[in-house]
Chains A and B, each alone.
Chain A
């Protein structure tokens, strides 16, 4: 059974880069049919898709965040990562790593436990 485990610093300073990783077990991040992504939920707010990546490295980003995002797959480490640059307090959120099977009309059938990231000096 697929399990996703996100990890990373819980506190990031304003203007710095947020870096999170997601370890994949029970499935292979090298699967050519799967996509791996990140979704966040700010305190008291709704869900926001950040972006996704395929095994081949094709990336798909939320247009509103695109200029600050890098998502990549690390097949040797059996996981994938998120980098979000120039963070502000508005980036404080619970960050989920997710899996989906299609790039068009996706639905997210597996979710990690969530990693809380606070942006504060």
Chain B
């Protein structure tokens, strides 16, 4: 079965750029989405179809996907961005999530 791998944790200083990766076999041939999960809240879609931002998501969130790796970047990271982030893709009528990355803003 298809698998997506994320680093368990990423730390970033306020104002810097946070980069979270998601790896999977030929992931660049699929669409990647990213979800933000804050403590006690439902997940929120922040990036879909590799690079698109839903309405209401700040421009500091961006995405890319090529080869075997999709990347979520958060520029000018703020304390409010501290959350768990999950990547997601679709493979043969099955939806797959990565294991999640805890973003800490130090």
Q: Are B48 and A107 in contact (CB under 8 A)?
A: yes
Total number of A-B contacts with CB less than 8 angstroms? 56
Q: How far does the Cβ of A56 sit from chain B's closest Cβ, in whole Å?
A: 16
Q: Are A107 and B43 in contact (CB under 8 A)?
A: no
Q: Are B1 and A63 in contact (CB under 8 A)?
A: yes
Q: Are B30 and A105 in contact (CB under 8 A)?
A: yes
Task: Knowing A47-B100, A48-B97, say if A107 contacts B44 (CB, 8 Å).
Answer: no
B72-100 interface (Cβ within 8 A of A):
86, 88-90, 93-100
Q: How far does the Cβ of A2 sit from chain B's closest Cβ, in whole Å?
A: 12
B48-64 interface (Cβ within 8 A of A):
48-49, 54
| Chain B residue, CB-CB nearest to A105 | B31
**15 chain-A/chain-B pairs, Cβ below 8 angstroms:** A46-B99, A47-B35, A47-B88, A47-B97, A47-B100, A49-B96, A49-B97, A96-B42, A96-B43, A105-B49, A105-B90, A107-B48, A107-B49, A107-B88, A111-B44
Q: Which A residues fall within an 8 A CB radius of B?
A: 39, 46-49, 60, 62-64, 96, 103-109, 111-114
